[in-house]
Copies of this chain bind each other. A is one copy, B any other.
């Protein structure tokens, strides 16, 4: 069973709000955003092959990755303005097919207790038209499938939670 992705796309403003709950601890969900080997396994729609060229999920860091769908390859890159462990990420986002239409994304990781959490996000584009194009490109389906894949990853026997402990141990 998966939780629902909720999108709010108000008219006349350039942002999209979304929320998604997870039946997993906030540390595991955060770690699945930090560790590029985990990110690669869930980010984006089903059936795409993701290659992570750079993923430095720290304040001032950045990323670039590609999604391959058959012969089509889509590139994405951005910077991480703020990353606070298990709490917050603020990053830029550019789909290289629409150069310079950069969005800024705010993600809050909220601990709901009882081993559950909620992701609360806002993506703000440069223009209302750019935001609308992103919506029309199938963004909602891609996000929904990505978070379903994240659910599956978090419940695998060799799970993200175990990897989270390992990472915490290395950094501790």
Residues of A at under 8 Å CB distance from B? 12-15, 60, 62, 78-82, 88, 90, 92, 94, 100, 102-104, 106, 122, 124-126, 128
Residues of B near A13 (CB, < 8 A) are 12-14, 128
Q: Which of A12, A124, A125 has most chain B Cβ within 10 Å? A: A124
Distance (whole angstroms) from the CB of A33 to the closest CB of chain B: 17
Complex CA–CA separation, A60 to B125 (angstroms): 19
Residues of B near A106 (CB, < 8 A) are 100, 102, 126
Q: Which of B102, B122, B124 is close to A81, meaning CB atoms less than 8 Å apart?
A: B102
Q: Which of B12, B62, B94, B124 is close to A124, meaning CB atoms less than 8 Å apart?
A: B124
Residues of B near A102 (CB, < 8 A) are 81-82, 90, 104, 106
Residue pair B100, A92 in contact (C-beta under 8 Å): no
Distance (whole angstroms) from the CB of A159 to the closest CB of chain B: 30
Residues of B near A82 (CB, < 8 A) are 94, 100, 102
Distance (whole angstroms) from the CB of A10 to the closest CB of chain B: 10
Complex CA–CA separation, A78 to B103 (angstroms): 15
Complex CA–CA separation, A78 to B13 (angstroms): 24
